């Protein structure tokens, strides 16, 4: 199975707090720095689950970008896309399994449609991150990616990513994308509205709902939920609901978003 993910690869700075931050004071924490970004996470999990995985996006021409490229390659992910500008950074603060993020997407949203090679989308599944539909010029690049993938017979999936991204422009782009599969939380689904697709509704610790059937989450000692939704998406696309839940549980039991 060949999966291509489209979106961004970012530097994740994960901060696991022993207790909530106190303004103006020092709080002990465990930290991890490594590769992240929704589309890159999906590609890495897909590769770990046996798929041939490719990531397409613009990554920074800096030391962080070089680090991310090495890390993805080590996980068996083929990288495609221009190298320019600076790498984005996401700081994720986690406390007792909950997380709050501060995101700087760097040069990733600046990906242009003309910078794509249609051959990158010769795949069985194209997975599009919702962040790629949130602004231009990457949204136009996403549209070209979808056209190129569909020309080659690929299924297209979309992760809404965040309910706060959804505005009229996002809804229009999602409708034009016409994904076969949509991954969303209940809040994201409500924000996006009707869309003719197969919905995979994520409920966090409550599992997920697919085709009207509720699937309970696998038991796991939750260390960090960063990337769990991406692991679930990869597992579902590679092997269906059971593999999706297994991958999500594995992700939650570790610190960091990639396998």
Alpha-carbon gap, residue 252 to 13, rounded angstroms: 16
The strand order across the sheet containing 2-6 reads: 77-80, 52-56, 2-6, 125-129, 155-159, 181-185, 198-202, 208-210, 213-215
Which residue among 12, 159, 224, 230 is the active-site one?
A: 230
**Residue position matching structure tokens 């689904």:** 189
The question of whether 230 is a catalytic residue gets the answer: yes
Q: Which sign, positive or negative, has the C-alpha torsion 173, 198, 77, 117?
A: negative
Please calculate the CA angle 88-128-144 and round it to the nearest 5 degrees: 100
150, containing H or E segment:
helix 138-151
Alpha-carbon gap, residue 72 to 81, rounded angstroms: 14
Tell me the three state secondary structure of residue 165. Answer: helix
Catalytic residues: 230
């Amino acid at each position: 199975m060949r999966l291509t993910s489209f979106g961004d690869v970012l530097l994740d700075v994960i901060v696991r707090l022993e207790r909530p931050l106190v303004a103006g004071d020092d709080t002990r924490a465990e930290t991890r720095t490594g590769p992240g970004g929704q589309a890159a996470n999906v590609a890495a999990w897909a590769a770990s689950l046996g798929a041939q995985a490719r990531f397409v996006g613009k990554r920074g021409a800096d030391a962080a970008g070089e680090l991310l490229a090495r890390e993805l390659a080590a996980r068996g992910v083929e990288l495609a896309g221009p190298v320019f500008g600076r790498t984005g950074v996401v700081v994720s603060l986690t406390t007792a399994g909950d997380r709050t993020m501060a995101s700087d997407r760097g040069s990733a949203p600046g990906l242009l449609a003309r910078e794509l090679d249609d051959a990158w989308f010769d795949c069985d599944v194209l997975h599009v991150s919702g962040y790629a539909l949130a602004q231009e010029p990457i949204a136009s690049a996403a549209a070209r990616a979808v056209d190129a993938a569909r020309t080659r017979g690929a299924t297209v999936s979309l992760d809404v990513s965040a309910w706060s991204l959804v505005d009229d422009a996002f809804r229009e782009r999602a409708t034009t994308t016409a994904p076969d599969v949509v991954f969303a939380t209940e809040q994201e689904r409500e924000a996006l509205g009707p869309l003719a697709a197969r919905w995979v509704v994520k409920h966090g610790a409550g599992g997920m709902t697919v085709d009207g059937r509720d699937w309970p989450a696998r038991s796991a000692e939750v260390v960090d939920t960063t990337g769990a939704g991406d692991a679930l998406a990869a597992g579902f696309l590679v092997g269906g609901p059971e593999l999706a839940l297994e991958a999500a549980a594995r992700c939650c039991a570790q610190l960091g978003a990639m396998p």
